[in-house]
């Protein structure tokens, strides 16, 4: 019965493989979806050359460090969730670390008050970068092609240049504006003759190319030891920073067991601490499983209420319990991700009335969109879900001109003031206080959902703490509401993070009637322009059809398949 159907399907796939149809692309042999289409194509070329999903992910990550310097990086950190072709799943933690000289009062003045901005905008906001170590570990353990072949495309892009796009131009305008006092960022977006780069210009980054060349030739040591490390340490010292050669030399990526959950027959794999993403995602999916969703229409009042109540609870637990696993040995991960816990938690949800977040306890701040995620699937069914970040857009906005890359400001993800939790969302709980060599708590949620032991959905997003919720709603859209991946990515998103006790919703996506109904239940609503920028792939393993979709909120993003 199946044979006659295969011919038109293959013909269709061929046609679809050469056209990008709206934000969605089909492929048969491999797919990369990232926030920059040129970088997705770099990953696709690696797949076509016989590389596996890890090889393609490494090449894409280095390429994004060139094409998307707001978040793509070698000066930051992140996480990989990897499922191989036989269904074995693991994660690689390459989150930044606090330097050895860090202390839990390093952002306070002598009166114990938080010095405004010190944990986000000073040189002491920079954590020890993890990206190069993470990519190197991923390649060493699971890659196939030579390391050099994976770094070379990024070197070529940095050395020969690529077309300066509109998003870069907008950043260039901002950083070169009259009155901007950041000399590093001002110079970053100028040509040799001093003029500001414009859309359509060929942007070359020779210093970054040289740093990448050291990484290509010496692997991890090309960044953490030798000339590059020496220059980082010197630049730190000259500018009042605290990261030393010893910090760099000691940095190691860590392979960790994924957080695992189930949802109606699917298995969810996501990132464990130091990311809170996996625990919160599984907790929320478990809560949704308790509800009778067949009677709850997508986007209805009941849907938004229930989703927001699930978020409220997961974020309260996140604030109370989660931090770096190596410093918090007693985190109740099993309990938080168990069906029994969800059952108890669900009993507290009143479907007619909003709960109240207790502002005398814990809370979290709302962050912007300054991270980047990409998804990769190869012909054998190896899948990579990778999210990495500099924290703010363009991170600390600091770096050594000689090295050509930007450092993160990830120390801002620690709780800055021990014991002080405020109604505005600043928290002071112990699990996520600063300590030497500790990793700061993250919300990054690279996720793979499996069906019958094979990847079914590969997904993730930028967006600070909104990441957890945008990934949650996309997973729910695909699994529960049977949405095609591009529809689930574009569909309404809301965000609630316990404190502040507000539902943020994407403007124009909630009807006035729904808003009135939610307000009368006790919810406070606030519109926002956009939540998340999801990059995802679904796989119909039986028919060998990959569907990739990039969020329209990333205008330069795209799926590259073959
Ligand atoms: N810097 C954003 C996060 O790690 O969640």
Q: How does pLDDT run along the chain (562 residues), one tens digit per residue?
A: 333 344 454 444 444 444 434 457 999 999 999 999 999 999 999 999 999 999 999 999 999 999 999 999 999 999 999 999 999 999 999 999 999 999 999 999 999 999 999 999 999 999 999 999 999 999 999 999 999 999 999 999 999 999 999 999 999 999 999 999 899 999 999 999 999 999 999 999 999 999 999 999 999 999 999 999 999 999 999 999 999 999 999 999 999 999 999 999 999 999 999 999 999 999 999 999 999 999 999 999 999 999 999 999 999 999 889 999 999 999 999 999 999 999 999 999 999 999 998 755 543 444 555 899 999 999 999 999 999 999 999 999 999 999 999 999 999 999 999 988 776 667 788 999 999 999 999 999 999 999 999 999 999 999 999 999 999 999 999 999 999 999 999 999 999 998 889 999 999 889 999 999 999 999 999 999 999 999 999 999 999 999 999 999 999 999 999 9
Q: 259-263 and 254-256: which strand pairing?
A: unpaired
Helix (H, G, I), strand (E, B) or coil at 482: coil
Q: Is the peptide bond before 321 cis (omega within 30 degrees of 0)?
A: no
Phi first, then psi, for residue 424 (nearest 5°) are -75, -5
- 442: Cβ below 6 Å to ligand 1? yes
- 93: Cβ below 6 Å to ligand 1? no
- 369: Cβ below 6 Å to ligand 1? no
Helix (H, G, I), strand (E, B) or coil at 271: coil
CB 489 within 8 A of CB 551: yes
- 391: Cβ below 6 Å to ligand 1? yes
Phi first, then psi, for residue 431 (nearest 5°) are -60, -25
Top mutation candidate among 271, 409, 410 for ligand 1, by most atoms within 8 Å of CB = 410
For tokens 């209420």, the residue is 305
From atom 4 of ligand 1, which residue's Cα is the shortest distance away? 442
Nearest-atom number in ligand 1 for the CA of 444 is 5
Q: Where are the beta strands (DSSP E) in 462-544?
A: 494-495, 503-506, 525-528, 535-540
Nearest-atom number in ligand 1 for the CA of 443 is 5
Element (H, E) at 306: helix 301-321
- 413: Cβ below 6 Å to ligand 1? yes
In the DSSP assignment, the letter for residue 216 is H
Cα–ligand 1 centroid distance for 562 (angstroms): 32
**In 68-182, where does DSSP find H-type helix?**
118-121, 131-142, 147-160, 166-175
Q: Residue 455's Cα: distance from chain center in Å?
A: 19
From atom 2 of ligand 1, which residue's Cα is the shortest distance away? 464
Tell me, what's the pLDDT at 338?
98
In a 13 Å sphere around the CA of 462, the CA atoms on its Cβ side amount to 27
Cα–ligand 1 centroid distance for 66 (angstroms): 20
Tell me, what's the pLDDT at 3?
35
Tell me, what's the pLDDT at 18?
40
Cα–ligand 1 centroid distance for 389 (angstroms): 7
Q: How many C-beta atoms lie closer than 10 Å to residue 392's C-beta?
A: 22
Cα–ligand 1 centroid distance for 443 (angstroms): 5
Helix (H, G, I), strand (E, B) or coil at 362: coil
Residues with Cβ within 8 Å of 376's Cβ and at least 6 positions away in sequence, in order, are 30, 31, 32, 33, 43, 47, 53, 56, 57, 60, 383, 384, 386, 458, 537
From atom 1 of ligand 1, which residue's Cα is the shortest distance away? 391
- 464: Cβ below 6 Å to ligand 1? yes
- 443: Cβ below 6 Å to ligand 1? yes
For tokens 């220059």, the residue is 231
Q: 24-27 and 266-270: which strand pairing?
A: unpaired
Tell me, what's the pLDDT at 425?
63
From atom 3 of ligand 1, which residue's Cα is the shortest distance away? 442
- Among this protein's residues, is 103 annotated catalytic? no
Phi first, then psi, for residue 399 (nearest 5°) are 175, 170
List, as one string, the DSSP characters of 313-350.
HHHHHHHHH-S-TTT-TT--HHHHTSHHHHHHHHHT--
Phi first, then psi, for residue 486 (nearest 5°) are -65, -35
- 514: Cβ below 6 Å to ligand 1? no
Q: Could you tell me the pTM of the whole model?
A: 0.94
In the chain the first and final C-alpha atoms are separated, in Å, by 27
Q: Which among 25, 91, 176, 371 is annotated as catalytic? A: 371
Top mutation candidate among 443, 466, 469 for ligand 1, by most atoms within 8 Å of CB = 443
Residues with Cβ within 8 Å of 101's Cβ and at least 6 positions away in sequence, in order, are 242, 244, 436
Considering only CA atoms, which of 370, 385, 366 is closest in space to residue 463? 370
Could you give the C-alpha distances from 491 to 113, 268, 478, 494, 506, in angstroms and in order?
42, 21, 11, 10, 9
Tell me, what's the pLDDT at 361?
52
CB 27 within 8 A of CB 561: yes
CB 401 within 8 A of CB 424: no
Cα–ligand 1 centroid distance for 332 (angstroms): 21
Cα–ligand 1 centroid distance for 442 (angstroms): 4
Tell me, what's the pLDDT at 370?
83
Nearest-atom number in ligand 1 for the CA of 277 is 5
Cα–ligand 1 centroid distance for 161 (angstroms): 29
Residues with Cβ within 8 Å of 330's Cβ and at least 6 positions away in sequence, in order, are none
Cα–ligand 1 centroid distance for 63 (angstroms): 21
**In 24-161, where does DSSP find H-type helix?**
37-48, 53-67, 118-121, 131-142, 147-160
CB 217 within 8 A of CB 434: no
Top mutation candidate among 442, 469, 471 for ligand 1, by most atoms within 8 Å of CB = 442
Cα–ligand 1 centroid distance for 78 (angstroms): 8
Top mutation candidate among 368, 387, 464, 532 for ligand 1, by most atoms within 8 Å of CB = 464
């Amino acid at each position: 019965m199946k044979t006659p159907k295969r011919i038109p399907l293959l013909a269709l796939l061929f046609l679809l493989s050469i056209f990008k149809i709206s934000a969605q692309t089909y492929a048969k042999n491999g797919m990369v979806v990232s926030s920059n289409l040129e970088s997705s194509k770099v990953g696709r070329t690696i797949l076509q050359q016989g590389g596996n999903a890890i090889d393609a992910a490494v090449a894409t990550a280095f390429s994004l460090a060139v094409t998307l310097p707001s978040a793509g990086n070698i000066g930051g950190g992140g996480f990989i969730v990897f499922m191989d072709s036989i269904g074995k799943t693991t994660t690689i933690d390459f989150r930044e670390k606090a330097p050895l000289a860090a202390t839990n009062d390093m952002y306070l003045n002598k009166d114990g008050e938080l010095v405004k901005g010190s944990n986000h905008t000073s040189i002491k906001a920079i954590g020890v970068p993890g990206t190069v170590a993470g990519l190197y570990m991923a390649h060493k353990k699971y890659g196939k092609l030579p390391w050099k072949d994976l770094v070379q495309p990024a070197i070529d892009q940095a050395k020969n240049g690529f077309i300066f796009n509109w998003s870069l131009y907008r950043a260039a305008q901002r950083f070169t504006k009259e009155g901007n006092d950041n000399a590093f960022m001002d110079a970053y977006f100028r040509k040799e003759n001093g003029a500001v780069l414009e859309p359509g210009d060929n942007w070359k980054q020779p210093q970054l190319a040289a740093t990448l060349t050291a990484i290509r030739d010496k692997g991890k040591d090309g960044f953490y030891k030798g000339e590059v490390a020496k220059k980082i340490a010197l630049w730190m010292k000259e500018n009042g920073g605290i990261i030393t050669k010893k910090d760099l030399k000691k940095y190691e990526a860590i392979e960790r067991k994924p957080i695992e959950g189930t949802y109606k027959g699917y298995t969810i794999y996501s990132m464990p601490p130091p990311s809170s993403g996996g625990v919160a995602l599984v907790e929320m999916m478990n809560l949704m499983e308790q509800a009778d969703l067949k009677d709850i229409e997508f986007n209805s009042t009941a849907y938004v209420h229930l989703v927001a109540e699930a978020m409220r609870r997961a974020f309260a637990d996140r604030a109370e319990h989660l931090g770096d696993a190596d410093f918090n040995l007693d985190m109740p991960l099993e309990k938080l991700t168990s069906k029994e816990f969800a059952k108890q938690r669900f009993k507290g949800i009143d479907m007619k009335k909003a709960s109240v977040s207790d502002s005398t306890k814990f809370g979290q701040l709302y962050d912007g969109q300054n991270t980047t995620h990409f998804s990769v699937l190869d012909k054998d069914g190896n899948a990579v879900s990778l999210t990495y970040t500099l924290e703010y857009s363009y991170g600390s906005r600091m770096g050594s001109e000689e090295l050509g890359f930007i450092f993160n400001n990830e120390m801002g993800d620690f709780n800055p003031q021990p014991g002080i939790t405020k109604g505005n969302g600043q928290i002071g709980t112990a699990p996520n206080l600063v300590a030497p060599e500790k990793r700061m708590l993250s919300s990054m949620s690279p996720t793979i959902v499996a069906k019958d032991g094979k990847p079914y959905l590969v997904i993730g997003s930028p967006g600070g703490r909104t990441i957890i919720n945008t990934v949650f709603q996309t997973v729910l859209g695909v699994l529960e509401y049977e949405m095609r991946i591009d529809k689930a990515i574009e569909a309404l998103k809301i965000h609630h993070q316990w404190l502040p006790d507000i539902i943020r919703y994407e403007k124009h996506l909630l009807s006035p009637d729904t808003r009135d109904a939610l307000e009368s239940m006790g919810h406070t609503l606030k519109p926002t322009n956009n939540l998340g920028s999801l990059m995802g792939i679904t796989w119909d393993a039986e028919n060998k059809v990959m569907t990739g979709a990039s969020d329209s909120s990333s205008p330069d993003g795209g799926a590259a398949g073959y």
